[in-house]
Structure 1
């Protein structure tokens, strides 16, 4: 029972770490303006509206890796042979993603990929359930 309870936070933490690392790599290649990282939403909106394709695509890559790792981690920790913990992680991340996309002027392709990549929690979960 404790493993199933801890599986979701473990999956979320693993996903957050992935997102942070990959977005930092993206920010090294496509640095945002100084004000965008300090919580200044106006500066962040301006940056997203004019960001190059690859700057935004790094976020999608981060989401995809995070979805896979989150699903894998949650299912491994839960160790109950089900996708439930992975799905919960995916739903939480999906809600956060939709909120962020609604808050920022993201293009339609970002919405499509931003929502669909969270389905990769199933791939991560499936791999976790196959491996010992």
Structure 2
């Protein structure tokens, strides 16, 4: 049980770090306008409304990469075939994503890809299971 809790915590940390790195890369490739304060909700809303497609797509890429890495990490640490650690990570970050999409003016395609990308936690889980002999549980 403690191993599964540790797996979820580690998966959450890995997911958040990967999300942050990919989103940082996106901001380097597609910087916000000069003077935009992305910590200010109104400024962020204005940026999202006018952001180029690829700037928003980097956010989707961050979701996908974070989900995959989080599911992989949680499964490796849990060392069993349980779906719970990966599912918890996917559900938590999907809820956070929904909150952000409700808060910001995101286009329909962003909703579809944003929510679908969190299913990649199970792809990460599958890869972890295929590269390790895990206990049945």
- Cα pair 1:68 1:120 within 8 Å, conserved: yes
Paired residue for 1:91? 91
Gaps of 5+ in 2: 133-137
Root-mean-square deviation (CA, aligned residues, Å) is 0.9
Could you tell me how far 1:36 is from its partner in structure 2? 2.7
Q: What's the CA shift string for 1:44-92, capped at 9, x where partnerless?
A: 0000000000000000001001010010011111112111100000000
- Cα pair 1:68 1:122 within 8 Å, conserved: yes
Paired residue for 1:36? 37
Return the TM-score normalized by structure 1. Answer: 0.96
Paired residue for 1:111? 111
- Cα pair 1:8 1:86 within 8 Å, conserved: yes
5 Å-filtered alignment, 1:50-129, equals 50-129=50-129
- Alignment partners' CA distance in 2, 1:55 and 1:35: 14
Gaps of 5+ in 1: none
- Alignment partners' CA distance in 2, 1:36 and 1:72: 34
- Cα pair 1:36 1:47 within 8 Å, conserved: no
Greater share of helix = 1
Could you tell me how far 1:30 is from its partner in structure 2? 1.0
Residue correspondences, number: 131
Could you tell me how far 1:35 is from its partner in structure 2? 3.5
- Alignment partners' CA distance in 2, 1:47 and 1:5: 38
- Give runs of ≥4 in structure 1 deviating > 3 Å: none
